[in-house]
Each structure stands twice: as C-alpha cells, then as structure tokens.
Amino acid sequence: MSRIKDIIEAFQEADYQETLAMLLDYSEVLPEIPDEYVEARNAGYNRVTECETPVFIWVDVKEGKVKIYADAPAESPTVRGFVSLLVDAFDGATPKEIEDAPSYLINSLGLDRKLGTRRMFGLSAVYNRIKNDVKHATQMS
C-alpha cells in the first residue's frame, strides 16, 4: 500500500480535533529546504502563485523516484501542515504512485468537510503543482 493511502485512511478515521492535531504535527516536521534553494526562495522562484500563502516547491525525478523540497511559513500552520503531509506522502514515491493518487486529495482526506471548503483552494493548487511537475519531469526524461 502506498504512503498516501495510509495517510488518507488515518485522516478519514480522525475527528475534527484529531485532524487539527495531525496537521499541526505535520506543520512542525516539514524538513528545511537545502541551503542552495534558500536564495531562490527569497528571490521568489518556485512559488505556487495560486496559493495566497507563500508556498515554494521543487520537484525532481531521479532514477525513478520523486524528490520534493517544499517551504511554507510557520505563520500559516494549516498550509504548512498540508505541504508537509504532501512531502511525507510523495517524497521518494514513484511517478506512477503520484499519478495514481486521487485527483481530489483534499476531499479524500476529508479536509473540506472538516475545515470548510473555503479554506481548501490554495491547498488544491499546491497539490496540483506537484502532480503536474512530476508529470512534466517524467515526460521530459
């Protein structure tokens, strides 16, 4: 079973408070981006512009595995938590696993129902960015 399926299962079983707690935990464990990306981030490169919160994502596919680095501000813990969840789910996955991941991940996780749909638009954009980048990188190679 892929990592994303485990995560979806855990979120589907969680109630409102548990969902918040899991996202909060995720927001605290997002790995730092490597030093060489800090300058690019500060210059505004690789930003997911559709998301109101400044989210930065670098996606690469090497030797059949997806590598993801991402950054989101600590002042936006929901977005940061979700970005961290995506890194947990997809960093090290195969492009096929990402292609097969649900189109409407937010709904699969139940976040729209629990946190309200109005909060979810930016998050969808971040997820779609990863999916598209992986698709693009796979087609190029």
In the complex, minimum distance from the CB of residue 80 to another protein, in angstroms, rounded to a whole number: 9
Regarding 122 and contact with another protein (CB under 8 A), the answer is yes
Pair of tokens at residue 33: 């981006």
Regarding 95 and contact with another protein (CB under 8 A), the answer is no
Instruction: List Cα–Cα distances, 35 to 13, 31, 43, 106, in angstroms.
Output: 37, 12, 14, 30
In the complex, minimum distance from the CB of residue 56 to another protein, in angstroms, rounded to a whole number: 16
Regarding 50 and contact with another protein (CB under 8 A), the answer is yes
Q: Specify which residues 88 forms β-bridges with.
A: none
Contacts of 103 (CB under 8 A, 6+ apart): none
Exactly one of 29, 104, 121, 132 binds another protein (CB under 8 A); that residue is 121
Exactly one of 9, 31, 38, 49 binds another protein (CB under 8 A); that residue is 49
Regarding 52 and contact with another protein (CB under 8 A), the answer is yes
Piece of the chain touching another protein by CB under 8 A; list 33-41, 49-57, 85-93, 95-103: 49-57
Exactly one of 10, 24, 29, 38 binds another protein (CB under 8 A); that residue is 24
C-alpha–C-alpha distance, residues 86 and 80, integer Å = 10
Q: Binding-site residue total for another protein (CB under 8 A)?
A: 27
Piece of the chain touching another protein by CB under 8 A; list 6-14, 29-37, 83-91, 122-130: 122-130
In 3D, which of 61, 56, 65, 57 has the Cα closest to residue 130? 57
